Amino acid sequence: MAISESERLRATDEAVHEQRLGSVLITVGWVLIAMDCILSVWIWVGLRSGSDFWLWWVIIEGVLGVGIIFWGRHKRAKALELIAANSPRIVPNDRAA
């Protein structure tokens, strides 16, 4: 069953929105990992003074960052599949040969 042009455009617009959301999630994940690189300076200071706070903070924030990156990559890949599925097909011309 063929879908109408407006339905195809709406689905493509939603897919582009999901693709943009995936890109934002990937950026947020990398920002969290960059913050972990900065905060990792305090791990040794905290451990030396008997505190595990900075160690656990960096571990949890790193896991969240990696998880958000994978979630964003998944959203972007799904959106790309939706865009490809909703793209108009080009029928080859057999008389061109």
**In Å, what is the CA distance from 47 to each residue of 3, 37, 50, 51, 55?**
62, 17, 5, 5, 8
Could you report the average pLDDT of every consecutive run of 10 residues in the chain (97 residues)? 80 93 98 96 92 95 98 96 84 67
Locate the domains of the chain by residue range: 10-85
pLDDT at site 79: 94
Q: What is the pLDDT of residue 32?
A: 97
How far is 15 from 58, CA to CA, in rounded Å?
34
pTM given for the model: 0.82
